[in-house]
Structures are given as structure tokens and as C-alpha cells.
Amino acid sequence: MTMFVGEDQLSLFEERAENLTQEEFEAWTAPTPHDEQILRQLQTQGPKLLSGPRGCGKTTLLLRAAAEIRKRGSALPVYVNYGRSMFTEPAFNQRSDADGFFQDWLVAKVIVAVHDTFEKLGVEEPELDRQSEIARFFIDSAERNPHAARPDLPGPTALTHALEAWAERINAKRVVLLLDDAAHAFVPEQQRVFFEYLRNLRTPAVTYKAAIYPGVTEFSPNFHVGHDAKLVHAWVPVEGSEYLSFMRLIYERRLPPEIRDKISSGVVSLFAAASFGVPRTFFALIETYLENWNSRPERSAQVANNTIAQNADQLRDLHRSLSRKLPRYRHYVEAGEGVLNKLLVLIRELNETRHRVSPHAQVLDIAIRQPIDARLVTVLGLLEYAGLVRSTNEAVSHGTDRYSKYSIHGCLLTAAGALRFGQNPTLEQRASALVKKSRTGTYKRVGSEGIFTTKQAEECQLVVANCAACGTPRVMENARFCSFCGAELVDASRFEELMATPIEELALPKKKLHALNAQGMHKIEDLIRDRGLAEISKAQRVGPVWARRIYSLAEEFVSV
């Protein structure tokens, strides 16, 4: 098969904004009108929580906001990436001051980020140099060793005072902390510490904008969304004519003409519409398409369909993988499979009926009658975290009933044949069908019981391990000692389990997996420990771009 994307062009498909150079970032990303609105909110004084699934552009927005704030000069923007928080998770099983240890790590990351910002600005600050050296050393130790000694770092309140002083140093009146990957999705203890830390970070001169995931974020008991921070949705809605224009714009910005020439306009539109407002998915579809394409334009529609089906499978795999990442929610994830299938069937059935009456109206959304079963809310939350469905945050009324609306991923709708067309629809027609024409659009109404059977609801129990000594089930979810024999109930470290996972769990081509295995890399840990990419790069057919990509995938697997 001809390779249409060489190693030198692979970097064009780099999926994570934080891995782009400043030049690539400026050249390849573009704000939509929706983004402009969010960017304004990210530059204002009030604290914000930026919510959206992976790949929807949260990092891009935070980096862009940082650049805008820097340009205006009135505030000091500090971009901090908390993506490696999971690396400190073992401490929660191995030290009683793990909350303080984790908070020190959070503070240390801010100090290092301020120092990096000052370096970029060419500003010297000896006290900051000293503190950042301590902080950098601690971050490195803490991510490797849960018993690392805690240095004398400021708490959140003292940190805000220091931030104010550092802002003064560059004549800025305010500090805006842009906290990326702040969700800590798999460690509730970390989420609790993080949101308490956030509450203490706010002063008249210091504010924060934190990127979180929908569906799975647990706030601390004292943190109130709306009061402590306003929620902002980062996800670009797949609606209106401007949606496809925006996707086309970023496509044209990123990919050179020699690649664009290989892809028909219809395919680009279809991928843009099916990618559910997630630029990362859009570029992944294009990359897969180019890999599958066999220089036969007459078969481009078939290849595009296969590409979308392949992506739909990957999305479902990602959702299924939550069983391993969040083993307590295994039954909820399993129920999610059934719920998703049911949603797709309901939409397909309604579209078939509607098609006979009005051939151009497509149903894309589902409206679930309130109150929604609490267990179903968790199921939907997990689907939303994986990016398969999306709460549109709209409520609609029919008579006395109120409904909450959810959108379904375009790749899933397409792969399941949930949309109904006349004979031989063009790719443009199929793309257009996936884009809502108006804010409300048309939707299928259903009650919880219509998509979530009593049996499924009953099966949705948290999975907590029985006592290893006597086999007695736990009397409560967070029990630490067996109620029958009194033995300690030991929970394995999530991080250590993820690190021990075979690399075959990563979405990598088989050849790359074989090459890594041949290089003696079998577990995720083998990849993660290779921070300099020295060993990964030794694998056959793994150049620098693939090495970075493999490392990035492994890091993402254990991080969030």
C-alpha cells in the first residue's frame, strides 16, 4: 500500500495542542465565533471551569487565552498543565499526608510555570529562581517516588501573595492561572484536594480558569459550581453554516495543498460534520483516511465510510476502556453500551418514519424526560467523558414534562446508519445532515425507562472488592476494614495498575506494537519511564515523530 503520509508529514497530525511549537500553534489553530466568546470569558476576572471531552480544544483555548492576555500586558498569564497528576496517586496509598503532598505538587507546578513565563519574558527574579529550582526538583521526585520529602513550599494562600508580587515585578495588575487537565478523573481524593486548593487561589488580583472533563468530575463538598466558579462549555456545537466553515478553515491552515489535493471536498465536509465538534477527531479521521486510501477516487466514499466506522469503533473502545480505568464503575460502563445502542435505534427508527413525510429533516438529538434516573445520569456522564454523547445543556418542555437534551457523536450516527437518506446521497448531503440547522433542531423524546431497563438499573452497582481475607462484601463503598473479620481492605493503586497494562491497549498500529515488543517494551510503564524517548526510538520503523506520539499516547493512557 502506498504511504500517503510520510514520517516528515506525520507531525501535521499531532493531536495535542500542548505538543505543538509556538509557530505551529499560531499557524494551525483558529478560533471559531464560539471560541471567541469563550476566549473573552477566559480573559475576564471571574474564575471559570472550562468543560469538554478530550480533543475538543480546551488546551488550544487556554493557550490562546494566555497569548491574548500576554499581548494586552495588563495581567500575567500562567499556563499550568496538571496532566501528570495521576503520577502522584500512589502517595494516597502510602502516606498519611498525601493530600498535603499532592497540594505541594499543585503549587510547585504553578511556581515552575511562572518561572518559565518569566524566562520567556526575559525577566530575572532571584527568589523565583530559587523557589522554582526547589519546585522542579520536587515535581520530578514526587512523580517517581510517593515517599519523596516535601519541601517548604507555600500553601495556596501564600502562593496567591507570591503571585501578586511576581505580577508587580512585570507591572501587571492581575494574575490569570490557566490550569489545564485539571480533572484528575480517576482519583476522587485528588479532585477533593484540587477543588479546595482552587477555592483558596482566588483574590482580587488572582483568578483561575481550569479545564475539566464533563461527566466524571467530582467537586469537593465546599466547592460550588456557579458560586465558586462559572462553568463554560468548550465544545464547539455542530450547528449552523459557520460550523463547517470553521472546520474547513483549520483544515486549510494545517494541511499543505499537496495533502489537501488528495481529499475531495465532500470527504472533508463529511469528516468535519462527523467529528462532533472535536478538531482532534477531525484530523484523526483525515489521517486514517489517507492511510486507507488507495488512489482510486471512485472509491473515496467507501473509504470515508470505513474510516468513520473505524473511528466509531475506537470511540466505543475508549468508553469500554473506562472499565479498566474506573473499575468501580464497570457495571455503569457496561450499561452505557446498551444505552448507547438503544439511543441509536430510537433515532434511526424516528428518522425512518420522518423520512417518509419530510425527507430532509434528520433527528440528531435525544431528549430524556426529567427526572432522569440517578444511575442513568452516571451512565450518561461516562459516555460524555468518552465523548460519545454530549449534554447540550438545554431543557425543553412538552406539556408538563421537561426534558434534558443530549447529542450523539456523528461517527456513531453514521456508522449505525441512524440517518435516513434518499437514493445515492452525495457526501455533501450526508455531511449537511449531521449539522443542526437551528439551535433546537429536532429530537427524539424518551423517558429513562425507555433507554434504561429496570434490569440494567439494578445491575448498576459500584464494584468494590470483597475482603481478601474472608470474602465478605464491604458494608460501605469507602470501607477500609472488613466488618466480618476486621482485616484491612487494601485497594490497589490505580496508577500502578495502569502502568502494568500491556501496550496492546494503546491505539497503535500492529507493526509499531511488534516493534516495541521486540525492543523489550511490553507494559505502559516501559514507555512512560523512557522520558527521553531513547528506547522507543530504537524500535524499528519508529522515527522521532512516532516516538513522541507513542509516548504521548502512553502518557495520556495513565494521565486522564
Partner 1 sequence: MSRHTAIEALNLCAQPASITADWSVFVSSLSRTSSESPIDTFYDAHQGLNKLASLVQSGHVDVELQNLLGGQLLLGYVSATELYFRQMISRCVALCPIIRQANNQQMIPFGALDYYHKDSLESALTERVSFSEPGTIKSQLDGRLQVKVPSKSSLERSIEDYEKLCQLRHSLIHSHGVINSSNAAKLGIGTTKSLEANIDLHCLQVVASITLNLVRDSNNEIVRSIVWSWIQGGLLTGNGRNDRPRLNRLVRQLGSSTDLTSGRADGNLKRLSASVKAAVLAISTKAGKRR
Residue ranges that bind partner 1, judged by CB under 8 A:
95-97, 100, 104, 147, 149-152, 475-476, 478-488, 490
Q: How far is the CB of 141 from partner 1 (least distance, A)?
A: 13
Q: Which helix (H) or strand (E) holds 402?
A: strand 401-408
Taken as a whole, the chain contains a residue count of 560
Q: How far is the CB of 2 from partner 1 (least distance, A)?
A: 54
Q: How far is the CB of 134 from partner 1 (least distance, A)?
A: 13
Mind spelling out the 3-state secondary structure of 281-332?
HHHHHHHHHHHHCCCCHHHHHHHHHHHHHHHHHHHHHHHHHHHHHCHHHHHH
Q: Considering the complex, state which of residue 27 and residue 469 has its C-beta at the smaller distance from partner 1.
A: 469
Cα–Cα dist 528/530, whole Å: 5
Q: Determine the 3-state secondary structure of 48 from DSSP.
A: strand
Q: How far is the CB of 41 from partner 1 (least distance, A)?
A: 36
Task: Give the distance from CA 9 to its chain's centroid.
Answer: 25
Q: How far is the CB of 81 from partner 1 (least distance, A)?
A: 25
Q: Considering the complex, state which of residue 145 and residue 440 has its C-beta at the smaller distance from partner 1.
A: 145
Q: Considering the complex, state which of residue 89 and residue 373 has its C-beta at the smaller distance from partner 1.
A: 89
Q: How far is the CB of 486 from partner 1 (least distance, A)?
A: 3
Amino acid at position 31, single letter: P
What residue has cell string 441512524? 418
Q: Considering the complex, state which of residue 36 and residue 491 has its C-beta at the smaller distance from partner 1.
A: 491
On whether the CB atoms of residues 214 and 183 are closer than 8 A, the answer is no
Cα–Cα dist 340/119, whole Å: 49
Quote the DSSP letter at residue 447. Answer: -
Quote the DSSP letter at residue 412. Answer: H
On whether the CB atoms of residues 128 and 111 are closer than 8 A, the answer is yes
Q: How far is the CB of 490 from partner 1 (least distance, A)?
A: 8
Q: How far is the CB of 475 from partner 1 (least distance, A)?
A: 7
The set of long-range contacts for 279-282, using a CB threshold of 8 Å and a minimum separation of 24, is 279/55, 279/56, 279/57, 279/60, 279/247, 279/250, 280/15, 280/16, 280/54, 280/55, 280/56, 281/55, 281/311, 281/387, 281/411, 282/247, 282/250, 282/251
Q: Considering the complex, state which of residue 345 and residue 475 has its C-beta at the smaller distance from partner 1.
A: 475
Q: Considering the complex, state which of residue 97 and residue 313 has its C-beta at the smaller distance from partner 1.
A: 97
Q: Considering the complex, state which of residue 401 and residue 488 has its C-beta at the smaller distance from partner 1.
A: 488
Q: Determine the 3-state secondary structure of 80 from DSSP.
A: strand
Q: Considering the complex, state which of residue 479 and residue 507 has its C-beta at the smaller distance from partner 1.
A: 479
Cα–Cα dist 307/297, whole Å: 15
Q: How far is the CB of 99 from partner 1 (least distance, A)?
A: 9
On whether the CB atoms of residues 247 and 272 are closer than 8 A, the answer is yes
What would you report as the CA-atom Rg of the chain, rounded to the nearest whole angstrom? Answer: 24
Q: How far is the CB of 479 from partner 1 (least distance, A)?
A: 6
Q: Considering the complex, state which of residue 480 and residue 541 has its C-beta at the smaller distance from partner 1.
A: 480
Cα–Cα dist 48/229, whole Å: 5
Q: Considering the complex, state which of residue 3 and residue 149 has its C-beta at the smaller distance from partner 1.
A: 149
Work out the end-to-end distance of the chain between its first and last CA atoms, rounded to an integer number of angstroms: 35
Cα–Cα dist 286/304, whole Å: 9
The set of long-range contacts for 128-133, using a CB threshold of 8 Å and a minimum separation of 24, is 128/166, 131/162
Q: How far is the CB of 522 from partner 1 (least distance, A)?
A: 23
Q: Considering the complex, state which of residue 438 and residue 478 has its C-beta at the smaller distance from partner 1.
A: 478
Q: CA angle at residue 70 from 67 to 76, to 5 degrees?
A: 120
C-alpha cell at 519: 525492543
Q: How far is the CB of 110 from partner 1 (least distance, A)?
A: 18
Q: Determine the 3-state secondary structure of 535 from DSSP.
A: helix
Q: Considering the complex, state which of residue 203 and residue 483 has its C-beta at the smaller distance from partner 1.
A: 483
Q: How far is the CB of 330 from partner 1 (least distance, A)?
A: 24
Q: Considering the complex, state which of residue 200 and residue 442 has its C-beta at the smaller distance from partner 1.
A: 200
